[in-house]
Structure 1
Amino acid sequence: MKLNLYSFSIMRGGAGLAAKKFKTLSENILRSSVLIVCQDSASGFQFFKRLISFALLKLQFDGNPIKHSLNLFSYGPVLNSFKNLEKLHHIHWINNDTLSVFDFDKIPAGSIITLHDEWLYCGAEHCYNVKDENLDFVNGYFFLKKGTLGIHWNYIIWKIKLKKLSYRSDLIYTVPSTWMLERAKRSLILRNADVRLLPNPIDTDVFCPVTFNFLKKYRRKLGLSVDDFVLCYGAVGGKASYYKGSHLLEEALRILHKSISEINSKKIKIVIFGGKWKGTKESFGFKTYSLGHIANPAELALLYASIDCVVVPSLVESFGQVAAESMACGTPVVSFDCSGLKDIVIDGATGLLAQNYSADDLAAKLKIILMMSSTERKALGKKGREHVVNNFSYSVIEDQYKSIINDAALLKKQTVIPK
């Protein structure tokens, strides 16, 4: 059995990097090469189509700061690849007009569709508004909605997806967290679908603890002392994305600075990565080191393993890649008690969970971990690595993925897509 894998990109973005990992796993399982269909080398005409979708999207305002996508057009090579019914098809990141909502009925029977966010069962939004308690993806979108101005794309796109997908029993959907699993199964679009849990794999051979000598060497390279308490935060475009919670972290750091002594303030150093700026400055009373974008996983792993704590202040994470990778390196995590992070951060065992979206409680949890002895933090880190190895390592996820591939192959043989 051969497999085609689809993703807007495999070079960037969390979904793209996850798709690349599943390429490796599928090649191990099938013992054959996997064809990747992506837009990394797409033409200018395809980019023009994306611009049209992007421009039309601007005709809606719904107060939700998360990214929205219309997906009005398909990338030609995707539809051409769908015609090969002898292969299995694993569909990952289909936004940026990789696969049009109008072509969802062309997805071959027995395909695997992996959700990296909530877009597939919502409207145009990639994550449902955390401030909206009326879950439209569960109760149904209506054409008129309070707070939505202009063309109500959320309703239109949701309606098309509902028509194209809700009847199909010949597809297998996967989600990376129990939080998403529960929400997907409640949604009107996927309520009767086969939805399964399949977390993103973590390379625990790359993301692993380092010796004390490596730690000293790396800290010295950054201008840090082994006696410093180093707090790390990382997110691609973190400040640009409201749901990454940088605004809450900044407020928490201001609160933390006011609540501790001057000695402890000088002891705390903050390292951030994922942005474009590199350099050193004072932020919120603490010396801050910005490392910019880190593309090399081994370098990122060394950073995680050489610090005392990683803070993930996200309001929503479909999985929690940063949390899982840092814990694999033996570094405890502080985050909010929300979304996919609840699968990864076990309060008091692998890290600390703050009350949802409370900067005050986030500051309190950071202070607790600051005041811990190094022995206590190492104990959290050890349990954190064990948790990641036991639940998210390549060997564990490969076994789960193999079962899904086998079921998809069987489903493909048994199913005929309704006309």
Structure 2
Amino acid sequence: MKVLIVNTSEQTGGAAVAANRLMDALNNHGVKAKMLVRDKQTGDICVAGLEGTIGKKWHFLWERLVIFFHLHFKRDHLFELDIANSGTDITTLREFKEADIIHLHWINQGMLSLKGIRRILRSGKPVVWTMHDIWPATGICHLTLGCTAFRQSCCHCKYLPGSGSANDLSTKVWRHKRQMLSEGNISFVACSKWLEQEAKSSGLLRGQTITSIPNPIETRIFCPGDKAKARMDEQLPADKRLILFVCQRVTNPNKGMSYLIEACRQLAAQHPEMKEQTGVVILGGHADEVADQLPFETYPLGYVSDPQRMATIYRASDVFVLPSLSENLPNTIMEAMACGVPCIGFRVGGIPEEIDHQKNGYVAEYKSAADLARGINWILHQADYQALSDNAIAKVRHHYTGQQVAMQYTEVYQQALAQKHFML
């Protein structure tokens, strides 16, 4: 069985990381897997990049220009929406022709167009599509943030100026997606049970096969280690309790840094002794911009992509906090838990599937900085820390290893192939 994994980027973003890990897991499991990306960033021979720099840029820019026009030339939400009106036809590529299964992941921002996906479906090859967010089940958005219009048909989109109309851009793209899906069946896989239920409620995906399989993690890299050595390697203090926050762009409001700042301020007010005993490690772009807003000593490390160094930073920390306002199944929580670090997140999306409340971490009430503060204080000063750490490691090894995930995907591939032969 030969599988072609298709993703916009090779390494940048959570979907790219997950797709790469899946490729490795499948190859280790005896399934021949390759990856096709728009943005190739390494010399990995298992990863092929699209050729034609000008064409790739044009697809990206044309889509942004059309969205910009519908936003009345305002930058708000410019990179939160996708319409897949332009992209590369991959059906002519050797990698596509050699594959038995086409496995789509995050294919936005000029990688594939809806017409291109229709061509893939018309080829007759079985298609599996891993949903890293809700976009395949909506008109144009990746985050619904409480909107339920997609359960019937997208319209009056809140991302568009004036809340759109009954026949706005979201409605038009919805229709195009519906036409695309009429070309053939797709086996949809959500990365969390929460997203699986959201997808099943979508009017667009009604009648489609939808299941859930978590992203895999490389437990040979993300594993427990010497905390003292990790802090020495990263030049972090040995005598403080360290809170870790990780995000690709720290200033992204959906990642909830403002809630962590408020939680830390409440902790400093309620427990003044924590000011000298506690530090906050911030990992991600623009970390310096928020460092001075926290009441504790702050250690902005910038953006880090190297997995080995990421694992070191996790090991150096005492608790990992991700107060996101919308999440699927965050790789970062999985990685921290694999390193034995208890995690805290809001009760949203797939986070409660990863964190078992007060067993391996703390699930705070949604958008509650006060409960976030309680969780941090509970883990650092009240809970049986070693038990939390052991439970976190056990949870990852039981649910998220590459072998387990590869086995589940192999079953999906076999079912897709069987369905194809049945239809023939």
Same fold (TM over 0.5): yes
Shift of 1:394: 1.1
Residue in structure 2 matched with residue 175 of structure 1 by the alignment: 190
Shift of 1:93: 1.6
CA distance in 2, matches of 1:105, 1:25: 28
Q: 2:120 aligns with which of 73, 88, 107?
A: 107
Following superposition of structure 1 onto structure 2, how do residues 260-299 of structure 1 map, counting pairs within 5 Å?
A: 260-261=271-272, 263-275=273-285, 282-299=292-309
Question: 3-state DSSP class of the match of 2:97?
Answer: coil
Q: 1:48 aligns with which of 36, 40, 58?
A: 58
Q: 1:308 aligns with which of 303, 318, 332?
A: 318
Q: 1:61 to 1:370 in 2, by over 3 A?
A: farther
For 1:87, the aligned partner's letter is D
Q: 1:185 to 1:281 in 2, by over 3 A?
A: closer
CA distance in 1, matches of 2:29, 2:229: 39
Residue in structure 2 matched with residue 98 of structure 1 by the alignment: 111
1:158 and 2:174 are equivalent in the alignment: yes
**Cα displacement string for residues 255-292 of structure 1 (whole angstroms, at most 9, x for unaligned residues):** 2222212x221101000112155799644211100111
CA distance in 1, matches of 2:335, 2:390: 13
Q: 1:83 to 1:389 in 2, by over 3 A?
A: closer
CA distance in 2, matches of 1:227, 1:326: 21
CA distance in 2, matches of 1:64, 1:77: 28
Shift of 1:55: 1.4
CA distance in 2, matches of 1:89, 1:385: 33
Q: 2:101 aligns with which of 75, 84, 88?
A: 88
Residue in structure 1 matched with residue 255 of structure 2 by the alignment: 244
Is the contact made by 1:66 and 1:126 (CA closer than 8 Å) also made in structure 2? no
Shift of 1:334: 0.8
Q: 2:268 aligns with which of 245, 252, 257?
A: 257
Tell me the TM-score normalised to structure 2 length.
Answer: 0.88
CA distance in 2, matches of 1:50, 1:65: 12
Q: 1:78 to 1:84 in 2, by over 3 A?
A: closer
Shift of 1:367: 2.1
Shift of 1:25: 2.4
Residue in structure 1 matched with residue 358 of structure 2 by the alignment: 348
Residue in structure 2 matched with residue 139 of structure 1 by the alignment: 152
**Cα displacement string for residues 52-95 of structure 1 (whole angstroms, at most 9, x for unaligned residues):** 11011123349869711111112133554697386221111210
Residue in structure 1 matched with residue 9 of structure 2 by the alignment: 9
Q: Note the residue ranges of structure 1 that are not aligned, 5 or more in a row.
A: none
Q: 1:112 to 1:410 in 2, by over 3 A?
A: same
Question: 3-state DSSP class of the match of 2:374?
Answer: helix
Question: 3-state DSSP class of the match of 1:8?
Answer: strand
CA distance in 2, matches of 1:121, 1:79: 27
Question: 3-state DSSP class of the match of 2:205?
Answer: coil
Shift of 1:37: 4.5
Q: 1:367 to 1:355 in 2, by over 3 A?
A: same
Residue in structure 2 matched with residue 215 of structure 1 by the alignment: 227
Shift of 1:369: 2.0
Shift of 1:336: 0.3
CA distance in 2, matches of 1:163, 1:82: 26
Shift of 1:314: 0.6
Task: Pick which of 222-231 and 155-164 moved more.
Answer: 222-231
Tell me the TM-score normalised to structure 1 length.
Answer: 0.89
Question: 3-state DSSP class of the match of 1:50?
Answer: helix
Runs of 4+ in 1 over 4 A off after TM superposition: 61-66, 78-83, 143-147, 276-282
Q: 1:330 to 1:83 in 2, by over 3 A?
A: closer
Task: Pick which of 342-351 and 151-160 moved more.
Answer: 151-160
CA distance in 2, matches of 1:29, 1:203: 14
Question: 3-state DSSP class of the match of 2:312?
Answer: helix
Task: Pick which of 312-321 and 19-28 moved more.
Answer: 19-28
Q: 1:17 to 1:79 in 2, by over 3 A?
A: farther
Residue in structure 1 matched with residue 419 of structure 2 by the alignment: 411
1:227 and 2:239 are equivalent in the alignment: yes
Q: 1:281 to 1:344 in 2, by over 3 A?
A: closer
1:72 and 2:94 are equivalent in the alignment: no
**Cα displacement string for residues 145-182 of structure 1 (whole angstroms, at most 9, x for unaligned residues):** 794248932222122112221x4663211110000000
Q: 1:78 to 1:387 in 2, by over 3 A?
A: same
Q: Note the residue ranges of structure 2 that are not aligned, 5 or more in a row.
A: 41-48
Task: Pick which of 287-296 and 80-89 moved more.
Answer: 80-89
Is the contact made by 1:5 and 1:34 (CA closer than 8 Å) also made in structure 2? yes
Q: 2:213 aligns with which of 180, 198, 202?
A: 198
CA distance in 1, matches of 2:290, 2:388: 29
**Cα displacement string for residues 26-65 of structure 1 (whole angstroms, at most 9, x for unaligned residues):** 3234453525343435412220221111011123349869
For 1:410, the aligned partner's letter is A
CA distance in 2, matches of 1:385, 1:12: 26
Is the contact made by 2:320 and 2:336 (CA closer than 8 Å) also made in structure 1? yes
